[in-house]
A and B are shown apart, each in its own frame.
Chain A
Amino acid sequence: MRIKNHPILEFKKQSTINFTFDGKSVEGVSGDTIASALHNLGIRKLSHSIKDKRARGFYCAIGNCASCNMIVDGVPNVRTCVVLLEEGMAVETQENKGVLYERT
């Protein structure tokens, strides 16, 4: 899924970042946003619509549409397309509108 060879640009090999997605150990690379790492893993469904629970995925990719909202390290409604991936992050699918209380 990653572009490795490009006629003009050169991609240097990046270091691996380990994180979990819904409890499973997975990998991304340095420089990934959470959503780009998931995309590379073939994960297309990041969230779902509030009312009818229809699948929502990587959409605007600039933090505007909330289509990629997930729970990251217990924090709900994280725009995963604009948050850089970090070692050890726990990324989870959010089943509801987000529960504010769990953090405080």
Chain B
Amino acid sequence: MKANIVIIGGGISGVAIAYNLAKKGMKDIVVFDDNYMTGGATGRCGAGVRQQWGTKGNCIMAKMSVDFFETAQEELQYHRDIEFKQEGYLIVATNKEEDEQFAKNVILQNSVGIPAKQLSLEEALEIVPHLNKDIVTSATFCNTDGHLNPFLMTDAYYHAAKRLGVKFFYNEKVTDIIVENSKITKVITKNYEVITNKVVNAAGGFSYEVGQLAGVELPVYSENHEILVTEPIEKIQGPMVISFSKNIYCQQVPHGSFIMGRSDLDVERGHDIGSTHKFLDEMAKTAVNLLPPLGDLRVIRQWGGSYNVSPDRQPIIGDTDQLEGYYLAVGFSGHGFMFAPMTGLLVSEVILGLPTTIDITDLHIDRFKNNETTEYEHSVV
């Protein structure tokens, strides 16, 4: 087989890149994924979409991605609703430092056109009446944030890309990338040998290993993040509720279930994506503390997935001077789902040598070269 480009990884990043490349006219695009569709982080994520970030780069990526999600069903001509529920993110503060930091964040967010605002406790309670009044001090809210269905969104991109001629292979692991005279010549998988000189690493939790296949060193690692879902009930919560200090995000999906997660601060780096009792215990306590009525809900299922973490918790997007023809869409650090429309657009522009829609200097791997401090994203769970 011959291809103009091989995309390794068919998660939300891979399918978005494939679609954007095909839409811009590129032919013979091949996507390999070692799993079933959405078997990576994409099918395991909270799929929250928020624009209330603490760095300008993340704010812009998120805002432009939301603009896409709003019209995605139409643009991708998908036959189903992608369940984009735009009822906002309520980010709650529980101490003075957060009150102050959030005030700064809102100024930054407003400066790039994100309609976030700071709320008093009373105003926050009007939006989510079941918040625990005793621990929340203030909040910020952006009404165009929300969440959508990651399975449907990936499928929508997949079908649109397929109609434009992209070839997808699932359960097909890339085992080697052949480099001769500093040029990529071949991609080897379980069943195929593909002649190509361009590769995209969109391998999520395994992006470090897929870098190694071509001798490209990436400053990323993976860690397990757990999440759970409850039985459904009638709607009581519009927005995603999130707290960095309490370490929780919690949303009610259109079906009625609550989906919630938090980080394990002691988690070891690696590829484990198992489920622990520790998480179940801590998650339940945290959720009931912040949103007391949820204590009456039963947990139906819990699972884990990989965060692929970069040194400043912002994605690594673009090419690399380590190897010609090797492109990166990695290190999303737990928020790559919501950025995928921009990931797809920007990576396709870099590959085709077009001017990029936004400046990607702050997202390029070269930002880690000098000891220059890059802007660190603190607003993460």
**Distance to closest chain B CB from A83 (angstroms):** 14
Cα A75 to Cα B293 in complex, Å, equals 12
B352 part of interface (Cβ distance < 8 Å): no
A77→B234 contact, CB < 8 A: no
B293→A104 contact, CB < 8 A: yes
B236 part of interface (Cβ distance < 8 Å): yes
Cα A96 to Cα B292 in complex, Å, equals 22
Interface string of B211-240 (1 = CB under 8 A from A): 000000000000000000001111010000
A98→B234 contact, CB < 8 A: yes
**Distance to closest chain A CB from B230 (angstroms):** 10
Task: List residues of chain B with CB within 8 A of the CB of A44.
Answer: none
Interface positions, chain B 321-378, Cβ under 8 Å from A, are: none
Cα A104 to Cα B133 in complex, Å, equals 14
User: How many chain B residues touch A (Cβ–Cβ < 8 Å)?
Assistant: 13
Find the A residue at minimum CB distance from B129: A101
Interface positions, chain B 286-304, Cβ under 8 Å from A, are: 292-294, 296-298
Cα A57 to Cα B232 in complex, Å, equals 19
Interface string of B106-139 (1 = CB under 8 A from A): 0000000000000000000000001000000000
Interface string of A82-104 (1 = CB under 8 A from B): 00000000000000111111011
B234→A97 contact, CB < 8 A: yes
Find the A residue at minimum CB distance from B292: A104
Task: List residues of chain B with CB within 8 A of the CB of A98.
Answer: 233-234
Find the B residue at minimum CB distance from A79: B298
Residue among A50, A77, A97 making CB contact with B298, cutoff 8 Å: A77
List 5 additional A-B contacts (Cβ < 8 Å) besides A75-B296, A100-B236: A97-B232, A100-B233, A103-B293, A103-B296, A104-B293
Find the A residue at minimum CB distance from B237: A100
- Pull 9 A–B residue pairs with CB atoms less than 8 Å apart, ordered by A: A66-B231, A75-B296, A76-B233, A77-B298, A96-B234, A98-B233, A100-B233, A100-B293, A100-B294
Closest 6 CB pairs between A and B? A98-B233, A97-B256, A99-B234, A100-B293, A97-B232, A97-B234
**Distance to closest chain B CB from A59 (angstroms):** 16
Cα A100 to Cα B231 in complex, Å, equals 12
Residue among A66, A96, A100, A104 making CB contact with B297, cutoff 8 Å: A100
A101→B231 contact, CB < 8 A: no
Task: List residues of chain B with CB within 8 A of the CB of A76.
Answer: 233
Task: List residues of chain B with CB within 8 A of the CB of A101.
Answer: 130, 236, 293
Task: List residues of chain A with CB within 8 A of the CB of B232.
Answer: 50, 97
Cα A76 to Cα B236 in complex, Å, equals 14
B296→A100 contact, CB < 8 A: yes
**Distance to closest chain A CB from B295 (angstroms):** 10
Cα A98 to Cα B298 in complex, Å, equals 12
Cα A38 to Cα B348 in complex, Å, equals 63
Find the B residue at minimum CB distance from A103: B296
Task: List residues of chain A with CB within 8 A of the CB of B231.
Answer: 66, 77
**Distance to closest chain A CB from B234 (angstroms):** 5
Interface string of A62-78 (1 = CB under 8 A from B): 00001000000001110
Residue among A50, A99, A104 making CB contact with B130, cutoff 8 Å: A104
Task: List residues of chain A with CB within 8 A of the CB of B234.
Answer: 96-100
Interface string of B272-298 (1 = CB under 8 A from A): 000000000000000000001110111
Task: List residues of chain B with CB within 8 A of the CB of A50.
Answer: 232, 256
Cα A100 to Cα B232 in complex, Å, equals 10
Residue among B233, B293, B294, B296 making CB contact with A97, cutoff 8 Å: B233
Cα A66 to Cα B292 in complex, Å, equals 23
Cα A15 to Cα B138 in complex, Å, equals 56
Task: List residues of chain B with CB within 8 A of the CB of A97.
Answer: 232-234, 256
